[in-house]
A and B are shown apart, each in its own frame.
Chain A
């Protein structure tokens, strides 16, 4: 394991700190959204600050929930379902 690998090993142990840093950055970005905004909204709603934040979060949550909890149980089969392997 080379130096870079060792670096990542160390970073892994600090993951909580990195996670908190991530949350701080997100909050900062939302704050910036109040200052910097678009002049030509694409969807009408996106002129409101925090739109894309909410959009990203909600769509992401819904997508994963729907796909993993509803759709995949319907269409998942065992790996060798077609007898190919």
Chain B
């Protein structure tokens, strides 16, 4: 049975990730000490979050209220099944991303590294905050923190392209959050009298049944505003910031846009749908299926677009747009199998996608090549990178025994539970389309004759190759033992 336990220990990972940027800035003179700060912070944050794992898996929910701003509006945190998934992957992958960052930034002799690591750490702070947010206000607060502090990361190169991409990034994310998310939050407060989400079960949400009965259209409008406001989830048509944000250095793309920023988006969508509205309200108002159909459209359309892109990061960006909607389609279908599939995909996709972005970055550091059509034959020079890339691609395609297959399996079973054959067809089509745009990268690298002179190239530095091989390996392990993340979802949804 779920027990709600008040625990100040929840603040520790937040404190650690809050202090980390300052520690980084403090050590800006000594680059190795500065990097060490990131590693230490990642390890400490991850381990402290792990201490909650046994309790959460038993069904306990840990909460803590920090302070109250207005009656009914507080800054509060919670650690339950859903939040733990996101917090765990964010902090776990931060450590690997730091190793990768070191290799990348030093390999290219990048400027403004302290600012970079500082903002990176704050962004993780934001991610952990989103993961542990117990009400809409806290969620909104940390959501905006992520946006603000990833802007300098996207604009890092400080060239015209960088500023243009970063400006678009900001306009999209800030614009939608101010135009839609903020009003949604306000409407929620007015309708419910509180911004606290319904924790402990996914059936009842924050909206009392009589409110839903009396003002169904206002509640529907609120929902629509939430969905439009959470553009970080890259649901079409609010997805264009993602490909444009690829002007960022690849480690930024890797962690933030494959793991933290976009995961904050789909996590928030999942949180709002499951803990904010609840399965029953969604059912009564008929909100699930339209969302699922929009997600299905995103899945297929983004894959179509990815097929036309020759720049490897652009292709990966559209693949991310497509895969994020796997999460949304799962959660929006509202059935146990679908929700499990969608939420597990938050973690499974994170590991596989970060491998792919790490790979793209490793290729760039080693060869300065960005176009797939120029990468022929490179696999012989960089076998580990492309081998890991191939394994992660299998996960995106959804082939057994890699983890992407597991989440896809639950999702397609979920479509059966809803009886929506169109959604099933969309997911199956996505498999074929993913094969269409990932396999060529692999066979070009290993089996085609080079088109540029590749003799001088060799593997990227170890600090980059080791993390990406490790995350690829984790993808494989998760395919055999999906219980790792599945148990969290089970506990969260009482399945």
Chains A and B in contact, CB within 8 Å: no
Q: Which residues of B contact A (CB under 8 A)?
A: none
Q: Which residues of A contact B (CB under 8 A)?
A: none
